[in-house]
Structure 1
């Protein structure tokens, strides 16, 4: 795996909000956000917007719970936000997440996706020690990692970690 170089200069990794348990016969892919998840998605989207964290491009998994989380971000950021839904983010490897980010020309990109891949992508970008220090309990649902490229050291750095 190759860690991307700019662009983008800023990467946002947003883990989807809490999902409902699957109903009998329901596919994992089709699980919606639960009541807490809907509220948390709105809260994290509003917190991001209040901090000025506005991506140029939002790329979301097509899984229903990710779409629900991305919709909250879209509402908070405004309808002008460029949003794309990508099937490949569901059940993807960390390499796929990194390749999707690396293929973008936008200055800032937000991925809305799943764990454990979100956590693995953050670790790939900032390193194991920095990730463990910043997230000792892991990457919670409805949490946003803000990662910036530090040209002075030619590396990605975690700028902020926003939680509900």
Structure 2
């Protein structure tokens, strides 16, 4: 007999892939991925697809480098995937990220494509400082994808368990 307990809410945190420095006169918002970043974005999308990861919704910062990081998921994971672009993921603090998570807990899974330091701060808050430091001792690298199961809480009281961590070069857990 199958366990009838509710499945935890699955949260996927993806930091944008490597980007180039802003050119003279270019806004930070408009910085694009560099060649390494494009390769990282493709690889992390392929790793996710190979693992059967298909979020119900992808919420992505409107910054160019985040949109370029999310786009391979559309091609690799599913062309029917719902990707929405959210300005606040570029301009807001980590608390905006938790507000967005709270507003989407009715889904089975949500992917957020965003920026540091917010992604790293959110990862530490959800997984716990000890687990986060053990998994990523040098901080949250570009194109890293953390898969977390959210157990309880709302806002700053959300707690989660790290299920897996994918880096564009290898899978950690």
TM-score of the alignment, normalized to the shorter chain, above 0.5: yes
Which stretches in structure 2 are left out of the alignment for 5+ residues? 1-5, 153-157, 169-173
Higher relative contact order (CA 8 A, sep 6+): 1
- 1:69-148 equivalent positions in 2, closer than 5 A: 69-104=69-104, 105-148=106-149
- Which has the greater radius of gyration? 2
Query: 1:131 & 1:91 partners in 2: Cα distance?
Result: 24
Query: 1:17 & 1:110 partners in 2: Cα distance?
Result: 15
| RMSD, matched Cα | 1.7
Classify the secondary structure of the residue corresponding to 1:162.
strand
Aligned length, in residue pairs: 157
Query: 2:92 & 2:35 partners in 1: Cα distance?
Result: 26
Alignment counterpart, residue 160 of structure 1, candidates 159, 164, 172: 164
**TM-score for the superposition, normalised by structure 2:** 0.86
- Contact 1:143–1:163 (CA under 8 A) maintained in structure 2: yes
**TM-score for the superposition, normalised by structure 1:** 0.91
Classify the secondary structure of the residue corresponding to 1:79.
coil
Which stretches in structure 1 are left out of the alignment for 5+ residues? 1-5
- Contact 2:60–2:83 (CA under 8 A) maintained in structure 1: yes
